[in-house]
């Protein structure tokens, strides 16, 4: 089955490259270091090396406490971080600067992955959340590189997809040396699909601390705006229009922050001003576009209510934990299956409200704007929830240590 998958991927590669170049028109990073996607690197290759793959922005941010902890505790190892998206690479650079090596993950072809592994020779691979590539995992097994699936989550919807392709997915999951699952439900679904050595470690995102300077800057900005602020956070295509159409409040400013930078110009057509061009909105502006990357803590600090995007269409939602940690009262739509456990906890704690559709979200936002006591309660509940669920980082580091100790004892394979 993997041979068929590889053949199809090879046939699709020209289209993949065309799309890569096309996306580079809006996000130039896609056109940089293309050779890395084929396993050709000019990076330093210091050893020993721990490799962490974070596909895009959310995974890069989720990995931050683990990266910091591993760098502090395993001082004899360097960290290599790979990603797939331009926004992910920009986020890695912003978060870690020169403290880690950064590269593109190679395309999932046996030869490209072999070149990557032979060049960097990682002692441990850590894959964030659900980014499983069959040839990457097969080649890691061949080169005796243990792979840890970190902060692992698997919704029931995704599990159904894995079951349809189990001849491909079961060997991939079975090759994992360890799995650190976010919840018991995630762990059970992963075990049922063939993963072994699964433990429940909690969600690393609870260990992420919002940038204090950005939070303070957001609050100062909100004071200057001098009117209520409703944030539409990490919105996806097709969500802004119904949310904006349903907003009946007149005094509040609506700040829209799209999930992807390539959509900024399109969403700007619905806004009267944008952060990249105006520090503050004009007094009569109804919609302000947050078209800057890496500033979500600023936007959460600036808002009175946060409506989480990706949840009003069947897209699985976006990370609500960052909003909770910043003390923002949260509203989510019906589709939060990628963050099911965090959503369940937030709803139970009274830190978030879940609604049926965009119109209900904006009605709930209006109710919250009129009820300061409820906003204060939700804000405190969100912060308390995040504090209560910290600790996943230490459990992940312990799993990494066990794998490194085992790998040190087994490092006799001829391929290394």
Active-site annotation holds for 59: yes
Could you give the CA distance from residue 276 to residue 294 in angstroms, rounded to a whole number? Answer: 13
CB count in 10 Å sphere of residue 395: 15
The reply to whether 242 falls in a domain is yes
Share of the chain above pLDDT 70, in %: 98
Could you give the CA distance from residue 32 to residue 79 in angstroms, rounded to a whole number? Answer: 21
What is the side-by-side strand order in the sheet with 229-235?
Answer: 273-274, 287-289, 253-258, 229-235, 305-308, 330-332, 352-354
Residue numbers of the domain that contains 279:
212-388
The reply to whether 11 falls in a domain is no
Clarify whether residues 139 and 92 are in a common domain: yes
Could you give the CA distance from residue 77 to residue 179 in angstroms, rounded to a whole number? Answer: 21
Clarify whether residues 190 and 267 are in a common domain: no
Q: Residue 156 is encoded by which pair of tokens?
A: 């029931």
Could you give the CA distance from residue 296 to residue 256 in angstroms, rounded to a whole number? Answer: 11
The reply to whether 3 falls in a domain is no
- Exactly one of 36, 59, 295, 322 is catalytic; which is it? 59
Max intra-chain CA distance, the chain: 70
Could you give the CA distance from residue 298 to residue 292 in angstroms, rounded to a whole number? Answer: 10
Clarify whether residues 258 and 344 are in a common domain: yes
How many structural domains is the chain composed of? 2
Backbone angles phi, psi at 41, to 5 degrees: -130, 150
3 state DSSP class of 114: helix
Find the CATH number of the domain harbouring 98.
3.40.50.11720
The reply to whether 162 falls in a domain is yes
Clarify whether residues 189 and 110 are in a common domain: yes
The reply to whether 14 falls in a domain is no
The reply to whether 12 falls in a domain is no
What's the predicted TM-score (pTM) here? 0.89
**37, 108 contact by CB (below 8 A):** no
Clarify whether residues 149 and 250 are in a common domain: no
Q: Is the pLDDT of residue 411 over 80?
A: no
The model's pLDDT over 37-74, given as tens digits with 9 standing for 90+, comes to 999 998 877 789 999 999 999 999 999 999 999 999 99
User: Average pLDDT, whole number, for the chain?
Assistant: 94
Q: Which sign does the torsion angle of CA 111, 112, 114, 118 carry?
A: positive
Find the length of the chain: 416
Q: Which long-range contacts (CB under 8 A, 24 or more apart) does 42-46 make?
A: 43/80, 43/101, 43/103, 43/120, 44/101, 45/119, 45/120, 45/121, 46/78, 46/101
pLDDT band at 409 (very low <50, low <70, confident <90, very high): low
Strands (E), 116-244: 124-128, 147-152, 178-181, 198-200, 229-235
Clarify whether residues 178 and 267 are in a common domain: no
Clarify whether residues 335 and 396 are in a common domain: no
Quick one: pLDDT at residue 415? 45
The model's pLDDT over 180-224, given as tens digits with 9 standing for 90+, comes to 999 999 999 999 999 999 999 999 999 999 999 999 999 999 999
Clarify whether residues 397 and 359 are in a common domain: no
Could you give the CA distance from residue 121 to residue 415 in angstroms, rounded to a whole number? Answer: 10
Strands 198-200 and 229-235: unpaired
Instruction: State how far the alpha carbon of 381 is from the alpha carbons of 296, 347, 349, 378, in Å.
Output: 20, 10, 6, 5
Could you give the CA distance from residue 15 to residue 219 in angstroms, rounded to a whole number? Answer: 45
Instruction: State how far the alpha carbon of 134 is from the alpha carbons of 36, 61, 81, 139, 296, in Å.
Output: 19, 24, 19, 9, 33
Q: Residue 363 is encoded by which pair of tokens?
A: 């009605």
Clarify whether residues 153 and 268 are in a common domain: no
On the CB side of 332, CA atoms within 13 Å amount to 29
Quick one: pLDDT at residue 294? 87
Find the CATH number of the domain harbouring 359.
3.40.50.2000
Clarify whether residues 122 and 59 are in a common domain: yes
Q: Is the pLDDT of residue 351 over 60?
A: yes
The reply to whether 4 falls in a domain is no
Nearest to 182 by CA among 150, 148, 207: 150
**149, 125 contact by CB (below 8 A):** no
Q: Is the pLDDT of residue 416 over 50?
A: no
**203, 185 contact by CB (below 8 A):** no
Clarify whether residues 153 and 57 are in a common domain: yes
Clarify whether residues 277 and 250 are in a common domain: yes
Q: Is the pLDDT of residue 412 over 50?
A: no
């Amino acid at each position: 089955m993997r041979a068929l998958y590889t053949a199809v991927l090879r046939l699709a590669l020209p289209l993949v490259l065309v799309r890569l170049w096309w996306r580079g028109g809006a996000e130039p990073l896609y056109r940089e270091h293309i050779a890395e996607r084929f396993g050709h690197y000019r990076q330093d290759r210091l050893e020993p090396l721990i490799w962490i793959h974070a596909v895009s922005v959310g995974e890069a941010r989720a990995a931050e406490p683990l990266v910091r902890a591993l760098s502090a505790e395993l001082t004899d190892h360097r960290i290599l971080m790979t990603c797939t998206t331009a926004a992910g690479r920009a986020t890695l650079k912003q978060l870690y600067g020169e403290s880690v090596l950064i590269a593109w993950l190679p395309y999932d072809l046996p030869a490209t992955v072999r070149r990557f592994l032979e060049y960097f020779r990682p002692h441990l691979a850590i894959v964030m959340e659900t980014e499983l590539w069959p040839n990457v995992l097969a080649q890691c097994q061949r080169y005796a590189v243990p792979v840890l699936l970190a902060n692992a989550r698997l919704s029931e919807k995704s599990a159904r997809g894995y079951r349809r392709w189990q001849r491909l997915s079961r060997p991939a999951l079975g090759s994992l040396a360890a799995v650190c699952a976010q919840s018991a439900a995630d762990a059970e679904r992963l075990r049922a699909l063939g993963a072994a050595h699964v433990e429940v470690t909690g969600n690393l995102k609870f260990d992420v601390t919002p940038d204090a300077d950005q939070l303070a800057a957001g609050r100062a900005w909100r004071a200057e705006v001098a009117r209520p602020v409703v944030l539409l956070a990490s919105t996806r295509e097709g969500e802004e229009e119904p949310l904006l159409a349903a907003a009946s409040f007149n005094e509040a400013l609506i700040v829209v922050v799209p999930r992807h930078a390539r959509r900024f110009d399109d969403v700007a057509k619905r806004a009267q001003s944008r952060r990249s061009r105006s520090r503050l909105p004009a007094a009569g502006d109804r919609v302000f576009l947050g078209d800057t990357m890496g500033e979500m803590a600023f936007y959460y600090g600036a808002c009175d209510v946060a409506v989480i995007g990706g949840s009003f269409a069947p897209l699985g939602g976006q990370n609500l934990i960052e909003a909770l940690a910043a003390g923002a009262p949260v509203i989510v739509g019906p589709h939060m299956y990628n963050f099911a456990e965090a959503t369940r906890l937030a709803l139970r704690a009274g830190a978030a409200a879940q609604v049926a559709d965009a119109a209900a979200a904006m009605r709930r936002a209006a109710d919250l704007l009129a009820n300061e006591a409820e906003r204060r309660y939700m804000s405190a509940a969100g912060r308390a929830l995040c504090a209560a669920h910290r600790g996943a980082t230490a459990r992940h580091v312990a799993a990494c240590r066990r794998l490194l100790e085992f790998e040190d004892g087994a490092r006799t394979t001829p391929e290394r």
